[in-house]
């Protein structure tokens, strides 16, 4: 055998091994595929690096994650032939070299990526990282409320003094939960009722000034970051769909059409409209809310018509008064129900999310305390069921066909599941500073939730307690979550409320 023949054999073997490691078989090699290996001087081959590819001129970006051998692969059929911009997410690192790749039809394109240490680690921290990095203090939990609108980096790198914050905090507390730095939103008559006052405000302002750049030339504490994904957390495909006017569009709720059309619907929290996305093409159609329904004082937050066939009534909640309504669409009449009217007033209560049961009674989550509540449709009487963890602040959730309510415990970094047949509630822990907003159970009995702070989607096996966290490609403010049970494995959908995108997460096992 000549040296040339030996080299050719070695090259063929190396290429074949690369395809195997990338998870694409010999049959797939006939289709257009992009693969490669990610490494750095500091670590060598790198597991858990998110590699994203977006075709020039497209609104769709696809992301995969490197495995234990540092290899990534975009599966056949996911990338059409064309030129792609390549980006990565690996905390502490950035690309060192070309950020583009060409994909050709019926060919395997190889693009090995070299990473280098970043010169701006602060820009890569999640809000959960900032919470973990901040000095321990009773005020640290309070600062988490700021992440509704923006990253904590804006606070920590500011130079505002305590006196400055005394004025800033009440002003910002007037902003609605749909605000972003480029688009603050506040009703004309809204006052900062929930803002701290007196010594509490003074203490909070002093704390904010103690952790920012007003008195420190650099950070006054070490920056802590979560580890990169590994093992099962790397087995995922992520697709992002950029929506029109992303600086103003905020996809709060994302729902897959139950009729099997493939259409994805979303509610725009930043502007008053509903949107329709075709995931195959990325085409978006918006339907604006009629002008006569635009009222800054009304906050129709939750709607549940799923069991209206029982008695013809549709439940919804009104966020301004924190009360419930039941609509009869035929007559147009409304029943107004004050669900906390007869509940003891020794602690505050505030309904947030709602779900109806098969009899069309309404269940809700007590965001001011620790309860799941049930209001009887016939009598209006409310019963509260205490979640095991005190002050857990249940927020949003879903009920399945078996009468199980899955919900997020926003202040406790937990998810809970209540069986309404037995009134029993079980809980599962989440990573610290996760701040889950919503949770849903799929048809396999696994719970899915997203954190407002961690840019991560967590999947929990309720039988074994085993969980896996899938890191998202960029900073993602997660609100409502949805699971599509028609696919195998199931598909998870969520909106990126601050970046104007819809995200599809496809686990590979």
User: What's the confidence (pLDDT) of residue 300?
Assistant: 54
Question: In terms of Cα–Cα distance, which of 130, 56, 115, 183 is closest to 433?
Answer: 130
* H-only helix segments in 101-213: 127-133, 140-143, 153-156, 162-173, 198-211
Exposed / middle / buried, residue 295 (Cβ in 10 Å: 0-12, 13-18, 19+):
exposed
Per-residue pLDDT tens for 160-190? 999 999 999 988 888 877 888 888 888 666 6
Query: Where do the domains of the chain lie?
Result: 16-119, 122-211
DSSP annotation string for 340-382: TTTS--SS---EEEEEE-TT--EEEEETTTTEEEEE-TTT--E
In CATH terms, the fold of domain 16-119 is Immunoglobulin-like (2.60.40)
User: Tell me, what's the pLDDT at 27?
Assistant: 37
Q: What's the pLDDT at 277?
A: 93
Averaged in consecutive runs of 10 residues, what is the pLDDT profile of the chain (509 residues)?
39 38 41 91 98 97 98 94 97 96 93 97 96 89 86 94 94 84 76 68 93 90 96 98 93 83 85 86 85 56 79 80 83 86 82 90 93 91 95 95 94 97 97 95 97 96 97 95 95 94 97
Check residue 3 and give its pLDDT: 38
pLDDT of residue 257: 82
pLDDT digits (tens, 9 = 90+) for 239-286: 999 999 999 898 988 888 877 788 898 888 788 777 899 999 999 998
The whole-number pLDDT of residue 199 equals: 85
Max Cα distance, the chain (Å): 91
Per-residue confidence (pLDDT) for residue 172, from 0 to 100:
87
């Amino acid at each position: 055998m000549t040296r040339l023949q030996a080299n050719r054999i070695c090259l063929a073997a190396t290429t074949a091994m690369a395809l195997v490691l990338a998870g694409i078989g010999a049959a797939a090699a006939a289709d257009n595929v992009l693969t490669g290996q990610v490494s750095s001087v500091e670590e060598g081959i790198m597991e858990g690096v998110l590699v994203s590819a977006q075709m020039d001129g497209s609104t769709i970006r696809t992301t995969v994650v490197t495995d234990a051998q540092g290899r990534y692969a975009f599966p056949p059929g996911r990338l059409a032939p064309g030129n792609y911009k390549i980006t990565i997410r690996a905390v502490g690192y950035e690309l060192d070299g070309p950020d583009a790749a060409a994909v050709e039809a019926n060919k395997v394109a190889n693009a090995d990526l070299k990473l280098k240490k970043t010169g701006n680690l602060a820009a890569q921290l999640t809000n959960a990282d900032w919470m973990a990095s901040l000095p321990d203090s009773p005020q640290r939990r309070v600062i988490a409320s700021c992440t509704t609108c923006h990253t904590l980096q804006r606070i920590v790198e500011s130079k505002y003094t305590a006196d400055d914050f005394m004025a800033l905090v009440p002003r910002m507390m007037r902003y609605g939960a749909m605000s972003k730095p480029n688009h603050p939103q506040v009703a004309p008559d809204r006052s900062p009722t929930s803002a701290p006052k007196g010594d509490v405000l003074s203490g909070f302002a002093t704390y904010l000034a103690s952790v920012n750049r007003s008195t420190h030339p650099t950070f006054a504490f070490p920056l802590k970051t979560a580890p990169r994904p590994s093992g099962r957390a790397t087995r995922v495909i992520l697709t992002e769909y950029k929506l029109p006017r992303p600086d103003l569009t905020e996809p709060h709720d994302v729902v897959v059409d139950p009729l099997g059309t493939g259409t994805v619907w979303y509610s725009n929290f930043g502007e008053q409209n509903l949107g329709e996305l075709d995931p195959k093409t990325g085409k978006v159609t918006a339907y604006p809310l009629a002008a006569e329904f635009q009222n800054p004082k009304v906050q129709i937050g939750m709607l549940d018509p799923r069991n209206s066939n029982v008695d013809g009534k549709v439940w919804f909640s009104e966020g301004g008064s924190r009360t419930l309504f039941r609509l009869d669409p035929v007559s147009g009449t409304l029943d107004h129900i004050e669900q906390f009217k007869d509940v003891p007033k020794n602690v505050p209560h505030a309904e947030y999310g709602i779900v109806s049961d098969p009899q069309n009674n309404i269940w809700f989550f007590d965001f001011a305390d620790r309860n799941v509540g049930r209001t009887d449709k016939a009598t209006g009487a409310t019963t509260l069921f205490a979640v095991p963890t005190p002050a857990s602040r249940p927020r949003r959730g879903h009920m399945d066909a078996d009468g199980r309510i899955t919900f997020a415990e926003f202040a406790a970094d937990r998810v809970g599941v209540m069986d309404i047949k037995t009134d029993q509630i079980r809980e599962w822990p989440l990573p610290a500073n996760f701040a889950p907003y919503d949770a849903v159970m799929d048809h396999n009995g696994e719970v899915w939730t997203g954190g407002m702070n961690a840019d991560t989607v967590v999947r929990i096996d309720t039988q074994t307690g085993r969980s896996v966290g899938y890191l998202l490609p960029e900073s993602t403010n997660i609100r409502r979550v949805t699971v599509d049970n028609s696919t195998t494995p199931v598909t998870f959908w969520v909106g990126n409320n601050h970046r104007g995108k819809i995200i599809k997460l496809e686990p590979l096992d």
